[in-house]
Structure 1
Amino acid sequence: MLPADEEVAAVVREWMGSSDDRPLDLAGLYLSGADLSGADLSEGLFTETDFRHVALISTDLYRAHLEGANLTSADLSNACLVKATLDEAALCSANLDHADLGSASLWGVDARAASFRGATLDGASLLRVKLAGADLSDATVAESSFNVVLDEQTVVTGLSGTVFGPATLTEGEASRELAGADLERWLNDRGAQVEVLSPRRSR
């Protein structure tokens, strides 16, 4: 299903009918009503694109540029976001169940109440990412940067692997840093199996 906006739909139709390999460029456009499930959007340019409530199930977004994109309530389940750049994107209430975010960049991302159940976050950089109320059940991490904001509603049951902290825990109006053994204990007391690694030293 193409976007409801006819101008945007025309851009998508032109790209679909093109014989060259240029990536799709929808930067700054509004994609309300679109269903791009299963599409190959690898290396696409989606900076500040409005994907609210858009279906992107099993979509290939390898190395896609999603800086500042609004993915609120989008369905990205089973999507490939390997090496994608999502800096300052909005992922509130988005569905990323079983998505692959290996080596993806997430800086300043608002992912409150998002679902990452069974997602792959191996090697991903989660820096200043808001995960209050998010669900990371059975997700995997491997040497992933985990400089995130958590709260008591963040679900980490079955989260497994290794991370670099520190994280911030919000408790009502107050917040405190969780690093090293304290972060590891907080996660694992809630059903995770995570090892918090010591920070890498500069050579």
Structure 2
Amino acid sequence: MSSGTPKDWKPSAAPPDPLAASRLEEWVRGGCEGGLDAVALDFSGADLSGGDFSESWFTESRMVNSRLVGCDLYRSDAEGADFTGADLTDADLVRVNFDEAVLRDAILDRANLVKASLYGVDASGAKFRGTRFLGASLLSVDLCGADLSGSVLEENSFKVKLDDRTIMRGTSGSVFGPVELLSEGATHVLGGAELERWIEDRGGSVQVIHRA
């Protein structure tokens, strides 16, 4: 367990699914040593807040409407997992693999996504308020209707989908574009100074870096 997680940690609410609940209980009974193997299990509705799940396997798992507030998922694999409506506020998501995952309507406020991988992710309607994306890779990510207010980016690959509902107020840093903008029923490709102006018009300040 990490120094910030009590050794007697227990979930506030176990998953309703019997198989997932049994796997979690066994892991907790073993002192939460090593990563949790949650591959393809259904943890929907569970409250795992405050747990240390670093180097765990959530591959293809269902985490719909689960609570993971303040959790540590450092270097975990969540490829193809469904986090629809999940709450990952203040979570440590450094180097997590979210490729092909679903983050639709999830809350990731103030989460740490440093060097995380997000490829082919549906994050439409998600909340990323104050989230740190430093060095993260966002490729083919749907951010339509997402809230990125106050988020920080630093040299991020940022080939994403945005729309007029995407909130960029207070977003700062630097990205590699271009992005796809869905506006008035049409798709426009924005990069360079044009993308910078679009973000600035929405209260953000992001430098778009040109790749050599």
TM-score, structure 1 as length reference? 0.96
RMSD across aligned positions (CA): 1.0
Q: Secondary structure at the match of 1:182?
A: helix
Once residues 145 and 119 of structure 2 are traced to their aligned partners in structure 1, the CA distance between those partners, rounded to angstroms, is: 18
Choose from 157, 160, 166 the match for 1:154: 166
Q: Confirm whether residue 132 of structure 1 aligns to residue 144 of structure 2.
A: yes
Matches within 5 A, 1:1-203: 1-19=13-31, 21-199=33-211, 201=212
Once residues 110 and 31 of structure 2 are traced to their aligned partners in structure 1, the CA distance between those partners, rounded to angstroms, is: 32
Gaps of 5+ in 2: 1-12
Question: How many residues matched?
Answer: 200
Q: Percent identical across equivalent pairs?
A: 48
Q: Secondary structure at the match of 1:191?
A: coil
Deviating more after overlay: 20-29 vs 120-129: 20-29
Gaps of 5+ in 1: none
Once residues 69 and 43 of structure 2 are traced to their aligned partners in structure 1, the CA distance between those partners, rounded to angstroms, is: 15
Please state how far the C-alpha of 1:172 moved relative to its aligned partner. Answer: 3.4
CA contact (8 A) 2:27 2:33 kept: no
Please state how far the C-alpha of 1:8 moved relative to its aligned partner. Answer: 1.3
Deviating more after overlay: 12-21 vs 68-77: 12-21
Once residues 152 and 164 of structure 2 are traced to their aligned partners in structure 1, the CA distance between those partners, rounded to angstroms, is: 20
- Could you list the structure 1 runs, at least 4 aligned residues long, displaced by more than 4 angstroms after superposition: none
Please state how far the C-alpha of 1:176 moved relative to its aligned partner. Answer: 1.1
Please state how far the C-alpha of 1:20 moved relative to its aligned partner. Answer: 7.5
Once residues 128 and 207 of structure 2 are traced to their aligned partners in structure 1, the CA distance between those partners, rounded to angstroms, is: 19
Once residues 24 and 140 of structure 1 are traced to their aligned partners in structure 2, the CA distance between those partners, rounded to angstroms, is: 30
> Any idea what the Cα deviations from partners look like across 1:134-171, whole Å, max 9, x if unmatched?
00000000111110000000000000011110100011
Q: 1:77 corresponds to which letter in structure 2?
A: T
> Any idea what the Cα deviations from partners look like across 1:58-79, whole Å, max 9, x if unmatched?
0101111000000000000000
Q: Secondary structure at the match of 1:162?
A: strand
Please state how far the C-alpha of 1:21 moved relative to its aligned partner. Answer: 3.3
Deviating more after overlay: 17-26 vs 57-66: 17-26
Please state how far the C-alpha of 1:19 moved relative to its aligned partner. Answer: 4.9
Once residues 113 and 23 of structure 1 are traced to their aligned partners in structure 2, the CA distance between those partners, rounded to angstroms, is: 30
Once residues 61 and 42 of structure 2 are traced to their aligned partners in structure 1, the CA distance between those partners, rounded to angstroms, is: 6
Q: Secondary structure at the match of 1:150?
A: strand
Once residues 20 and 69 of structure 1 are traced to their aligned partners in structure 2, the CA distance between those partners, rounded to angstroms, is: 21
Q: Secondary structure at the match of 1:145?
A: strand
Once residues 48 and 117 of structure 2 are traced to their aligned partners in structure 1, the CA distance between those partners, rounded to angstroms, is: 22
